Every structure is written in C-alpha cells, then in structure tokens.
Structure 1
C-alpha cells in the first residue's frame, strides 16, 4: 500500500472512530436503526410504483429513470464491493462492534448510500420542490451506516458518488426527460 493510501486510510479510520465514539452515538443508535431501514430498498420501489400509478404526468418517467439508474448502480456496486473487498469496521477494528448485522462482510462502497442518492437525485430532477427533503433523508440514511458502525466515511462518499453518477447517466439515457 502506498504512503498516500496509508495516510488516507488512517484519516478515514480516525474520522470513523471519532464519530462512533461520541457519547451520543450509542444513545442515538436505536433511532438510526430505523433510519437505516428506510434505505433497505422497499421504500424506493414503492415510491416509484406509486408515482407511476397515481401521478400520470411525471410518475411513469420517474419509475423508468429510477429503474434504469438502479440497473446501472447495482452491478457497479457489486463489482466494486467484491473487487475491493474492504472489511467492515466491526471486522477490521477489534474495539468496534456493529449495532446491526450487515448483509455481507465488505464495506466499500455503501449500497445504502448509493441507493439513497439515486433516489434523492432522481427526486430532485423530477420533483425539484422535494430536493432538499430527499437529500436530507439520503444524508441521514448514509450517516446511519457510520453511526451503526458498519461503514467508514469514505464508503459513504463512494456510495454517494456512485448513486449520483448512475442517476445522472440514466437521466441522460432516458429520452424526453420529465415534462
């Protein structure tokens, strides 16, 4: 590992530890479990289907663009996760135990962050009035993954970048855009 990469990793671990070792972090973990569950994926599909069915002007476009964005994001997420194979903090750092049981053993990138920012970016494009609440929720879902001790801050940053990039790509590929 290069000196630059070691320094980067050291800073990432220090920031992670600084966040999770705050006295308040343990007290708010229960709330963040619920926030994290909002990012499990069911809500995104329900929102897309609901909008497509009940909001005929932009809803079908929202669903189509969302399906394409997730079709781009998911394989890239899996490729990165299984190529980089970064152990989760609770596996790599002996003094840290996670507040939840993650679905796999690798942490980079955060799938919850990627999915949350796919949705927030799409909401901001199709329904601009809801951009700030959507970004706020995406941020909280991403933060929850660090608070729950299953991701490092750079996992979140990578997931965020992946989600936004895949959504922008999908929006460029879907002809017509939102009316």
Structure 2
C-alpha cells in the first residue's frame, strides 16, 4: 500500500488548492446550495417537475431512478464502509470544512455518484437536458470539494460509479422495454 502514499499526497494538495479556489467567489454559500440540490429530495423535485410539465417520459424517468437508487444505495454503502477513507477535514492539517458530512467515510462521493447516475439516466430519457444535467452533476462534485468533505479522487470515483450504474440500469431496462 506504500504506492498509494504519493497518490494520497497529490490528492490532498489538489484538494486543498481546489477547495480554497472554489470557496472564493461566495465564501462557500453557492457550494452549500449546489450541494443541497444533490440531496435526495432534489431528484424527487426533478421528477415532480417533469410530471407537472406533463412530460411524456416523466413516469419512465421516475421508474428508472427508483430502480437505480435501489442498486446505488447498497453498492455505495458497501464501498464506503469497506474502503473507509478518512474525510479531508479529518486528515488535512490546518483545514476547516464548511459542513460536517452525514456519514463517516469519503470514498466515493455519494452526492457525485447520485448526480451522475441521475444525469446519465436523464440524458437518455430526455436528451435535450443532457448538457444541463451533466453540468449540474459536475457542479455537485465540485461543491463537495469546496465544502471540504471530499478529495478530487472521491469525485472522479463517484462520477465513474454513477455513470456506470446509470448504464447498468438503462441496459437492464432496455431488455424489458424492448
């Protein structure tokens, strides 16, 4: 595991630089708002908005998201509790996070995983929104660094995991939807 030490040091340096840069414009206020939009209720609001706008794909979006979260939550939980990476605010000296995370471990980022999973599914079901949902997913990941609760590699892993889960659920659903 000694080969991980240089990666950890580089990740910590990138984290420290990014978190300070991302906090600058608003002192973290914008990061808090963006991060909260990636809480569980954000996806429900997106589905309700699709229903309110009478989008013909609203039901499919809701069903696929429910299925995706049924897969994502246990996978995410097992990964976090198996890998047990310490959060940056507990490891990086002289750093204060803007929030305390709701769980103990850092890798992968759950907010980023969910955001990229949502973006991947939404981009296929509602392609006109693809650019916007992916920009939002990237913003979610960056907000988690700005808030001081995730390293950059946590975000990359979350983006890859979320995208992979979206692909898995869409592929699985394609078999049933024809």
- The TM-score with structure 1 as length reference comes to 0.90
Does the aligned pair in 1 maintain the 2:144–2:150 contact within 8 Å?
A: yes
Matches within 5 A, 1:108-147: 108-147=107-146
Which moved further from structure 2: 127-136 or 92-101? 92-101
How much has 1:26 moved relative to structure 2? 4.3
Does the aligned pair in 2 maintain the 1:124–1:130 contact within 8 Å?
A: yes
How much has 1:27 moved relative to structure 2? 4.4
Partner residue, 2:160: 161
Partner residue, 2:177: 176
Q: Give me the whole-angstrom Cα distance separating, in 1, the residues matched to 2:101 and 2:94.
A: 17
* C-alpha RMSD of matched pairs (Å): 1.7
Deviating 4+ runs (over 4 angstroms): none
How much has 1:93 moved relative to structure 2? 1.2
1:172–1:96 CA distance, 2 compared to 1 (3 A): same
Partner residue, 1:59: 58
Secondary structure of 1:143's aligned partner = helix
Does the aligned pair in 1 maintain the 2:23–2:31 contact within 8 Å?
A: no
Does the aligned pair in 2 maintain the 1:51–1:63 contact within 8 Å?
A: no
Secondary structure of 1:55's aligned partner = coil
For structure 1, the 5+ residue unaligned runs are: none
Does the aligned pair in 2 maintain the 1:52–1:61 contact within 8 Å?
A: no
Partner residue, 2:89: 90
- The TM-score with structure 2 as length reference comes to 0.91
Q: Give me the whole-angstrom Cα distance separating, in 2, the residues matched to 1:49 and 1:20.
A: 33
For structure 2, the 5+ residue unaligned runs are: none
Q: Give me the whole-angstrom Cα distance separating, in 2, the residues matched to 1:26 and 1:56.
A: 38
Partner residue, 2:9: 10
How much has 1:25 moved relative to structure 2? 2.2
Does the aligned pair in 1 maintain the 2:20–2:146 contact within 8 Å?
A: no
How much has 1:49 moved relative to structure 2? 4.3
Q: Give me the whole-angstrom Cα distance separating, in 1, the residues matched to 2:55 and 2:12.
A: 47
How much has 1:53 moved relative to structure 2? 6.9
